[in-house]
Amino acid sequence: MTVSFYGKASDGSAIVLDFEHPAYLQLSNDNAHAFLSMLTVPGCDRPDGEMTLPEARRAIIYARATFERRVSKFIRASSDTKRPGYARFICGGIDEAYLARRVHDFERFVNAVSELGAASSYLA
C-alpha cells in the first residue's frame, strides 16, 4: 500500500500531479509514516490527512532545523527474512539520506501544487 500526495484548491477541487511530473510524490505506508512523523504532521498514524500550505512549509523548516538531532529516531534497518516453508519477507530500510531526500521532495511537491493554485496539501 502507498500514500499519495496531492493538493486541493480553495474551491475543493483536487490538484493531482501526473506520475511523470518531477514533483510527484508517493511513499509506501511504512516510509510515509516515518517521514510524516519526522515532519511532525498531526495524525500521521492514519493513511490520510490534510495540512495547509503554511503548515507544510513550517514542517519542512522544522524538519531541516532539527534533522541532525532527530533523524536517528526514524531510521530503520533493512531485513531479509528467509525461513524454509515460509514466504520470504524483505523490508527496505530507511537511512539519513533517504529522509533528507524526502524532505527535499516534499518541499518540491508543496511548491508545485502551490504554483498550481492549491490552498492545502493532502495525502491519501
Listing DSSP states for 2-34 in one string gives: EEEEEEEETTS-EE---TTSTT--EEEHHHHHH
Domain total for the chain? 1
Cα–Cα nearest to 92, from 32, 48, 46: 32
Distance CA 75, CA 73 (A): 6
Question: What are the pLDDT digits (tens) for 17-44?
Answer: 999 999 999 998 888 888 888 888 766 5
- Per residue in 57-78, pLDDT tens? 999 999 999 999 999 999 988 8
Q: How many CB atoms lie within 10 A of CB 7?
A: 24
Q: Which has more pLDDT, 124 or 96?
A: 96
Reading the block at residue 65, the C-alpha cell is 532545523
Comparing CA positions, the residue from 106, 25, 124 lying closest to residue 63 is 106
pLDDT tens, 79-117? 888 888 888 878 788 999 999 999 999 999 999 999 999
Q: What does the alpha-carbon distance between residue 33 and residue 3 come to, in Å, rounded to a whole number?
A: 9
Domain hosting 112: range is: 2-123
